[in-house]
């Protein structure tokens, strides 16, 4: 990649981080997308500054031919529009070559979720996995159970969960203060099951029969020896797949984000109002939360079609 292209992209990402509080995951995604576009330009003897509308159109066509989904292509186009909007505002380009490009038509897929009974099977599987274990295997199973209970109890994003600072425990034991996207803070309550699982995790090493040393005080609530200093999203997701298999569930249907969907859907199903669910999930826009009402509508339709005596006539 040309040095000028790299500098322009880096400057834009710095602005995203400093002025909009973009998360590291968001910055990494934008960086990959924009570097890919810069690479495409290079093969067509162009650069970020000199790109024209036909370059953007050709890039999107190439992505489609490569089999990239409409959602992924729309995300790439959004990244390009925002980059050039930034460069145009700074006087670094004369026009935004992505402004006239048409985004691929998107269907709005309903989020995948689990039933209450399926979530119960996951919890029971995680709890049973603790039995009979000792040493590090026991500690790992207790930690996973605490993570799982907290994820479903709060609806946190998995990145928020694994990177919880230990200081989050300094306030009211019944709630956690979570810092989400854009640095926005929100309160999420802990139910009794999650609190008990967390207390058991925090007590690791206090019983001599466990053969463990007490948890060392660190910055993170769920520390790890890895480079990040805490349990990673990937490691937790792999443990969750294994737990799903032990629970007799299809691992492909189960992920940390599916449990977040289950949290929201189950709350709405039991009468929670949309605004409350929005606040608990940390959605900036309530339209993002509204998708869960469609999940309930589809479920109700299915029940009627399957069980109403006149539905098949």
Q: Which residues are catalytic?
A: 157, 181, 257, 260, 283, 292
- Please, which residues have CB within 8 angstroms of residue 296's CB and are 6 or more apart in sequence? 265, 268, 269
Other C-beta atoms closer than 10 Å to the C-beta of 169 total 13
What are 178's strand-pairing partners?
Answer: 186
Other C-beta atoms closer than 10 Å to the C-beta of 1 total 15
Instruction: Answer yes or no: are the C-beta atoms of 197 and 143 closer than 8 Å.
Output: no
- The three-class DSSP label of residue 178 is strand
Q: How far apart are CA 295 and CA 203, in angstroms?
A: 39
Other C-beta atoms closer than 10 Å to the C-beta of 209 total 6
Q: Of how many residues is the chain composed?
A: 313
Other C-beta atoms closer than 10 Å to the C-beta of 84 total 22
Q: How far apart are CA 37 and CA 99, in angstroms?
A: 15
H helix intervals, 44-180: 53-65, 70-89, 116-128, 135-154, 158-162
The one-character DSSP state at 174 is T
Which of these, 115, 123, 73, 122, lies nearest to 98 by C-alpha position? 73
């Amino acid at each position: 990649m040309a040095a000028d292209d790299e500098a322009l992209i880096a400057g834009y990402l710095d602005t995203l981080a400093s002025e909009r509080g973009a998360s590291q995951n968001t910055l990494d995604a934008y960086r990959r997308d924009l570097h890919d576009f810069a690479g495409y330009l290079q093969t067509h003897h162009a650069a970020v500054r000199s790109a024209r509308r036909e370059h953007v159109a050709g890039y999107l066509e190439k992505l489609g031919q490569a089999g990239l989904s409409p959602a992924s292509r729309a995300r790439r186009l959004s990244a390009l529009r925002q980059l050039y909007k930034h460069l145009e505002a700074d006087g670094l380009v004369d026009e935004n070559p992505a402004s006239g490009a048409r985004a691929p038509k998107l269907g709005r897929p309903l989020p995948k979720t689990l039933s209450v009974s399926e979530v119960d099977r996951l919890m029971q599987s995680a709890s049973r996995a603790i039995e009979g274990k000792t040493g590090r295997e026991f500690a790992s199973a207790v930690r996973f159970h605490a993570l799982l209970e907290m994820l479903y109890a709060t609806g946190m994003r998995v990145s928020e969960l694994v990177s919880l600072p230990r200081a989050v425990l300094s306030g009211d034991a019944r709630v956690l203060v979570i810092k989400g996207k854009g640095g926005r803070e929100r309160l999420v309550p802990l139910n009794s099951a999650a609190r008990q699982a967390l207390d058991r995790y925090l007590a690791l090493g206090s019983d001599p029969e466990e053969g463990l040393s007490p948890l060392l005080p660190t910055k993170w609530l769920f520390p790890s020896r890895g480079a990040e200093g805490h349990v990673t999203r990937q490691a937790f997701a792999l443990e969750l797949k294994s737990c799903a298999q032990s629970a007799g569930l299809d691992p492909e249907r189960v992920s940390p984000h599916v449990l977040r969907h289950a949290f929201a859907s189950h709350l709405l199903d039991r009468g929670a109002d949309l605004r409350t669910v929005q606040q608990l999930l940390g959605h900036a826009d309530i339209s993002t939360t509204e998708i869960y009402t469609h999940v309930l509508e589809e479920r109700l339709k299915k029940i009627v079609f399957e069980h109403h005596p006149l539905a098949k006539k």
